[in-house]
Amino acid sequence: MKLIKRFMRNLFLSDPAAVFYAAVKCSDCGEEINVRIESSTDFQIAYNAHNAAHCYTIKKEIIGKTCFNLMELTLALTKNAKVLFVDTKACEFLKFDKE
Ligand SMILES: [Zn+2]
């Protein structure tokens, strides 16, 4: 029961400055990179006529430590920060989590 409560709390953005992490894997060298995402600066309000649940969009450009591959990550989130869909360039999406 306690675990479920904690899980539920993590689903909602009660904290206006929530911090998230997205993990991606470089398709060139295989490096796994954690990207810090702050709701206050990285969440862009989205309006999607085809999907009313789509509330925020996050766009990140990522460069790893071991190569010069420029990666791009786009996340579409609901208002509760649940991932709706993911788009990547030059990398593989691994996960998106609250800190
Ligand atoms: Zn790389």
**pLDDT surpasses 80 at 30:** yes
Q: Which residues are in the CB-under-5-Å shell of ion ligand 1?
A: 26, 28-29, 31, 64, 67, 69
List CB contacts of 22: < 8 A, sequence separation 6 or more.
34, 35, 37, 58, 60, 73, 75, 93, 94, 95, 96, 97
pLDDT in tens, 34-52: 999 999 999 999 988 999 9
pLDDT in tens, 52-78: 999 999 999 999 999 999 999 999 999
The CA 83 to ligand 1 mean position distance, Å, reads: 24
Q: Considering its fold, how many domains does the chain have in total?
A: 1
Query: b/e for 53-64, b at 16 or more Cβ within 10 A?
Result: ebbbbbebebeb
Tell me the C-alpha distance between 68 and 29, whole Å. 10
CA 91 – ligand 1 centroid, Å = 9
How far, in Å, is the centroid of ligand 1 from the Cα of 93?
A: 14
Spacing, Cα 48 to ligand 1 middle (Å):
32
Q: What DSSP state is assigned to residue 53?
A: T
Report the predicted TM-score, pTM, of the whole model to 2 decimal places.
0.81
State the alpha helices, DSSP H only, in 1-99: 2-11, 39-42
Question: Domain containing 48: what range?
Answer: 2-98
